[in-house]
A and B are shown apart, each in its own frame.
Chain A
Amino acid sequence: MYDFTPMVEGINRWLHSMMPDAAATFAGWVLVALVYLALFAVMGLVLVLVERKVAAFFQLRLGPNRVGPWGLLQTAADAIKLLLKEPVGTKRADMFLYNLAPFLLIIGAMMALSVIPFAPGLQAFDINIGVFFIAAVSSVGVLGVLIAGWASNNKYSLLGAMRSGAQIISYELSMSLAILTMVLLAGSLQVSQIIEQQRDYWFIFKGHVPAWIAFMIFVIAGTAETNRTPFDLPEAESELGAGFHTEYSGMKFAFFFLSEFVNMFIISAVAVILFFGGWMPLHLDGWTGFNQVMDFIPPIFWFLIKMSVMLFLLMWFRWTFPRLRIDQLLKLEWKYLLPMNLVNLLLMAFIVLMGWHL
């Protein structure tokens, strides 16, 4: 009923009827790229505003409330300000790498974004190794962070970048293992199939306790991957100025800033896909009426609702927990999360083997 496939195919046919095949394919690519760029910008602006409002409420403040009604235009004004700022760099910085770094970060984030389905038919790239692809390209981002810290010719930047390297390499492990646990349950890496598997029950219900543990680990590792508090050591404004992006200003700084929020979006999206059924409505066994009502809500809203809950959870973490020290960070990963994860993986394999999942 709410499938976007006919619409997408319609646009595709229309393009093909207008011009030769090669040109139509190219036009299609450009269209998709434009849509994603617009999405990227809107997402950044909205998420920054929401984060600031949520942070304010956690601290019993009002948050931005001067620009536009309820401060809704605040981030738009900030974006314009950042566009107009002079790009100031450091002396003897490696100019090529210095300019390259923000784009690497953005490219990584955009690539991961392309695999995320927003609703049936609304997915740019349904590759058959979907979740693996996300895990792989999300580590392109750390390259951007490392290069930014190295090329800035600033010791705080370098320290931040090194911390970021240590942190992301460690937590990549946990995240991949948590994803693997759920892939074991789904039996597929393709995002559309993983979602299709959850038509009757979401994986968080299907997988029993191991799914809950995997979810917990995934959220912790995901927070670490996005460099958000309590894992914001690479930025650590109280210790390192602003860490790896200390020396960036204007639009290049905005890229770093936005990529944090896009990464947060991606982590939440993957969590929603793997544990809460992506755009699938909530279904309960035997409650036909209830299920029909749930089906009535369009999948895109299901996706957005679940995303908001996940994003709110991440913001809740950020405004509650204090920052970890680097040794505590590594201890948490290697002494607690990793062994827990491995045991959890075995447990899940056993459950799937015995056919105990629903």
Chain B
Amino acid sequence: MSYVGEIVHGIRTLLTGMAVTGKYFFRARKEIITQQYPDNRDQLRMFERFRGEVVMPHNENNEHRCTGCQACEIACPNGSIEIIWDRKVDEKTGKKKKYIVKHIYHLSMCTMCNLCIIACPTDAIKMAQNFENSVYDRSYLTKVLNKPGSKLMDGIDE
């Protein structure tokens, strides 16, 4: 590029940059991204892809979709999930079938990588969006995801 061409090109690129930031400046009042937490704690909505914690949804009959297949336990890169399982006889079919006793999840070790969610064949677990996870003792961060007395939803198979 010629000497003069370089100067003109330089000025043009500078102006392009200034146009971008200038646009931000004059629209700033409408598009402020600062969240004034905790003032707006009640209205605060986290954005869609935010991952805060692994949870297991239960329906109104206290049923979940986890078959105890352990795919999530194997998928987890840092051993945050432990499944304690057993077998019992299914009344309908009369066959022995796996079921979970406890789905133990260590929030303190989880990196929110989402691999367990992808691995789960029955979509039994998902990511929640809460982020207020501070507690006074580390042991509170070890959670049992299946609620006490819950059982597998009908029609879910490995």
Chain A: residues with CB nearer than 8 A to chain B? 54, 56-62, 316-317, 319-321, 336, 340
Contact = CB atoms under 8 A, between A and B. Distances in A.
Interface of B: 6-7, 10, 14, 17-18, 20-22, 24-25, 28-29, 31-34, 36
Nearest to B30: A60
Nearest to A66: B36
A323 to B, nearest CB: 13
A198 B34 CA distance: 45
Contacts of B18: 316-317, 320
Nearest to B35: A62
Contacts of B29: 57
A61 B33 contact: yes
A59 B29 CA distance: 11
B32 A60 contact: yes
A333 B20 CA distance: 26
Nearest to B36: A62
Given A59-B24, A321-B14, A336 B7 contact: yes
A77 to B, nearest CB: 19
B24 A316 contact: no
Nearest to A220: B14
Given A57-B28, A336-B7, A340-B7, A319 B33 contact: no
B36 A319 contact: no
B148 to A, nearest CB: 45
Contacts of A319: 21
Contacts of B28: 56-58, 60
Contact of A316 (B7, B22, B36): B22
Nearest to A63: B34
Contacts of A59: 24
A202 to B, nearest CB: 22
Contacts of B17: 320-321
A322 to B, nearest CB: 9
Given A58-B25, A58-B28, A60-B34, 4 more contacts: A60-B28, A60-B31, A316-B21, A320-B17
A343 B46 CA distance: 58
Nearest to A337: B7
Contact of A62 (B21, B22, B32): B32
